[in-house]
Amino acid sequence: MKRQHRMVWIALGLAVLVLGCGPNFGGRKAIKGTVKLKGQPIDDGTIDFFPASGDQATKSGAQIIKGSYKIPAEFGLLPGKYRVSITAGDGRTRPEASPDQPPGPTGANIVSKDRVPKEYNIESKQEVDVTDKGSNIFDYDIP
């Protein structure tokens, strides 16, 4: 009887390990959302999250594709406040910006003009609060 009792406890312990312990990723949280510019989904761009504390270890970002972005938990953010920066270049190839820069694939540097207003990128004051229990969905409709 003792042996059966021990086997039951071992089986229960294994079940708890298998069912109750999913990946934790060090407390990082998945982040997702949508980004529109003048009411239209941004076709191609980037979104970056910079920790308000200045700790670059938790900085993350994603490519915006057809108006959506997603950062899986394994690359996600730790709970806390983050400054958000969104960019989306116009994709135009312009003459070389500087003779000191190497040429791009067509012999000219690609120097895109950002379609996103500076208030959402280089001078961004956009902030989000990543929470431990929240959905962490952050949508933007940029005027």
2 within domain boundaries: no
For residue 55, the surrounding DSSP H or E stretch is none
The CA distances from residue 61 to 85, 90, 128, in Å, are 9, 20, 13
Number of structural domains found in the chain: 1
Can you give the CATH number for the domain in which 128 is found? 2.60.40.1120
Supply angle C-alpha 68, 48, 93, rounded to 5: 80
Helix (H, G, I), strand (E, B) or coil at 100: coil
Domain that holds residue 53: 25-94+104-142
Cβ neighbours for 17, distance < 8 A, ≥ 6 positions apart:
none
- The dihedrals phi and psi of 54, each to the nearest 5 degrees, come to 85, 0
Q: Which one has a higher pLDDT value, 10 or 126? A: 126
3 within domain boundaries: no
99 within domain boundaries: no
Provide, rounded to the nearest whole percent, the portion of the chain with pLDDT above 70: 68
18 within domain boundaries: no
15 within domain boundaries: no
How much is the pLDDT for 94?
61
How much is the pLDDT for 16?
46
Average pLDDT for residues 46-56, to the nearest whole number?
86
What's the whole-number average pLDDT of the chain?
81
What pTM was estimated for this model as a whole?
0.72
7 within domain boundaries: no
88 within domain boundaries: yes
